[in-house]
Amino acid sequence: MAANGNQLCHRGRFDCVTKNSPRRLPIGAEVCGDNETSFRVWAPNAQRIEVALEASAEPDVERTFHPLDAEENGYFSGILPTGAGSFYRFRLNGDQHLHPDPASRAQPGGPHRASQVIDPRSFRWNDDAWPGVQLPGQVVYEMHVGTFTRAGTWAAAAEKLPELARAGISVVEMMPIADFAGEFGWGYDGVDLFAPCRLYGKPDDLRGFINSAHSLGIGVLLDVVYNHLGPEGNYLSVFSDDYFSDRYETEWGEALNFDGPRSDSVREFFLSNARYWIEEFHFDGFRFDATQSIFDRSPKHILAQLSEVARAAAGKREVVLLAENEPQDARIVRPEAEGGYGFDGLWNDDLHHTALVALSGRRHAYYTDYRGTPQEFISAVKHGFLYQGQHYRWQEKRRGYPARGISAAAFVAFLENHDQLANSSTGERVRLTSSPGRYRALSALLILAAWTPMLFQGQEFGATSPFLYFADLAGDLGQKVRAGRAKFLTQFPPFATPEVQAQLADPGARATFDRSKLDWNEHGKFPQLSALYRSLINLRRDDPIFSRRERGPIDGAVLGAQAFVLRFFDSLGEDDRLLVVNLGPGLVLEVAPEPLLAPPRHDESWETLWSSEMPKYGGPGAVPVETATGWEIPAEAAVALRPGSRLLETNV
């Protein structure tokens, strides 16, 4: 790709920017000199385009019009005498209507108002030594900026980063921030994909958040939505009829055109977007939303190309690419040489679903095909996805793809995320739907297994604030969202009753958004939960077996109706670890014909390394699990064991 005949800079720096070679990216407004800005837009729907320079982002202001030069393939470009902070819109074919830049770097007045010229070079970074992020060994933390603090800004969120660092969080996964219509929302209805949402602060505030995170050793991923755009404030079709495709359908709106007529420029738009976030904001990678709805029959899938572009944009820094994929297409994390897209990880809904069944006992809707049994947990630890091509009753078809040979770290595991909390009538936190002991036990499994664990904001200190679905959409759109949300929840029989339906939170109400904000006054209110997660994360980080980025073999065995054991093997066979998990009543094994319970040496026993029964986590007190006559496994508990003292007597 080239702009104005000049090769684009892929180095993640701006030393290639001069008046003779003004373009860092092929689209948008870029400062290229003192009081000079290069404008370039793809608009094959237009015969001529003018830039309207405006005095402010307000609707009725003075403006001057400046024509752009037509290029081949529907592009228009030019350099105008204006600098950073300027406001502008485009006028097509002399029409009276003005439109914001599809690649706007800022929308201070929202998606319907003027775009603003931003100069990223004015921010002073101090993260030159930051190496980036690799997925193995990380603890991920999903964050919604608007509800993470009461202020709901990047600046306020940055103040909490030291708390996350102390908790052991190593990667923040930021929910989408592309500017959207309204005063609050989840972010998945973004329409200005290059414009950091005005509601959370200025672009440099986002840079400051990431700069601060890196100084604390925390990486930052961005959740990006490349499968659809929001329903309000989306002006792409004004510039080109080819941004969207009628050959495919999504659940949320028109599918994007990655393989049809003029799709080269559409691909360029999204590839440039990925480069932009990494080069100009130093993001450490992405989480790609609903990749099953990113349709592409090209010889090289857009996801594979995005993987290449993101890594090239990062230069020497490592980046992490995660995907949400409802059908669990494991090919996404396979190398391109094996027919994959070269991603690093996939969200594991299977693990979440079986955990929620075990925690709550509910098996409605998409939880129907899970039982929450010990074998399901063992299989998830060993194989990642539970469904890898078997028949799935809920969807009446096969689910999943073979995942053999994929690293355990590639599976992102969680007990909570934004979707699953909101997919209830109250947005209630998981720990409030289960017994404390069972929740502690599965938290231990979540953190200590070889997959990549992810916490949802506030989970690390026991937040009680719900997380509800909220979207500030006006008029008919708002009514359709309310009706659609209520209908969606009817798949869960308890939520389909008239009483529950009448009490559902209104997604368009400001109160729904405000209720979803974290209450940081609760930080320290539940010290046992804070201690639980902090100690588990420390154990994962510091223990010589649990901390290994390339884990050794793991095996598991069912010990009872609700109990199982996992064995983490040391490569030398001398320092294995056991994790015993019991989600039911106390279990006494007077006979234990299970080889995984045998210590590495015949003259050793197992000793407790960590137990969820410790009083500092809210337990009644830890006692030895292996006794002289058998095993006594406490109820609703998890215990990690290591080889201990030599036995005084043996039968050998």
Q: Would you please indicate which residues are annotated as catalytic (active-site) residues?
A: 289, 324
Q: Cα angle vertex 606, ends 602, 610, to 5°?
A: 160
Structure tokens at 320: 């992490």
Q: Residue 227 and residue 142: Cα distance in Å, rounded?
A: 20
Q: Residue 640 and residue 578: Cα distance in Å, rounded?
A: 6
Q: Residue 146 and residue 124: Cα distance in Å, rounded?
A: 25
Radius of gyration (C-alpha) of the chain in whole angstroms: 26
Q: Residue 460 and residue 166: Cα distance in Å, rounded?
A: 11
- CA torsion sign for 57, 59, 63, 68 is positive
Element (H, E) at 477: helix 475-489
| φ, ψ dihedrals at 535, nearest 5° | -70, -35
527, burial (CB in 10 Å: exposed 0-12, middle 13-18, buried 19+): middle
Residue 303 near residue 344 (C-beta atoms within 8 A): no
Residue partners of 598: CB distance under 8 A and separation at least 6: none
- β-pairing, 6-7 vs 28-33, is unpaired
User: Which own/partner contact pairs does 305-310 have at CB distance under 8 Å and 24+ positions apart?
Assistant: 305/267, 305/271, 306/226, 306/270, 306/271, 306/274, 307/336, 307/341, 307/342, 307/343, 308/342, 309/271, 309/274, 309/275, 310/274, 310/275, 310/278, 310/285, 310/286
Tell me which residue has tokens 């964050």: 143
SS (H, E, C) 317-350: CECEEEECCCCCCHHHHCCHHHCCCCCCEEECHH
Q: Cα angle vertex 600, ends 596, 605, to 5°?
A: 90
Element (H, E) at 142: strand 140-143
Structure tokens at 521: 């006054």
* 3-state secondary structure at position 111: coil
Q: What share of the chain is helix, strand, coil (3-state, %, to 5)?
A: 30, 25, 50
> What is each CA distance from 226 to 42, 136, 280, in whole angstroms?
18, 26, 19
